Structure 1
Amino acid sequence: MTNDDVLHTLIPLLRARVDEQTLDQGALTPDTRLEQDLHMDSMTIVHVLEDIEESFELTIPDERLSAIYTVGDLADIVRATDSAMKDRAA
């Protein structure tokens, strides 16, 4: 799964959880910060993570959650978790 593939699915999930006025300020990029730029609180981030797990059919390990600050961090964790799950299945 490429970074573009992940972002293609990830960005609509984020848009669904963010206030429209916040989105009007600019495009979502890998460098977009969840708390500072999108004004997401911890509960909103938890809901986004639940959406991601459902959409990508994976479980993000709890120990990875403390390293999520940007959209790019989310994409990296999705790719790493997907890769790890495929390795275990092989």
Structure 2
Amino acid sequence: MVMLGHLGNAGAVSARNARLSNLLDVLRTPVADNALSAWGELGYDIAPWLGLDGNHRLEPYVRIDYMDSQFKPRPELFDNLASSAPSTRWAPATRSRGSQC
């Protein structure tokens, strides 16, 4: 089974989240426009192989899940990553005259 969701006003929700007070202690993250989920199960009745009568079923199964809460995000959703990345600055240590190590 596959489910695709779309939030038409994700930009407005993201803008409103950004204006939330820091005192609320909630996440103020942007919201994506699309979400995708897919899952499936496969099982088989092995009761007859084990000699159980027809009143019993034994069905081991396997399940696979996939969830992407930011499926195909709009480009401006992650525009701030480059500008907010921490920068590393390096300068050689200098020793003033007369100091000894």
Task: Normalising by structure 1, report the TM-score.
Answer: 0.22
Q: Which structure's relative contact order is higher, taking Cα pairs within 8 Å and 6+ residues apart?
A: 1
More strand by share: 2
Structure with the higher helix share, 1 or 2: 1
Higher radius of gyration, 1 or 2:
2
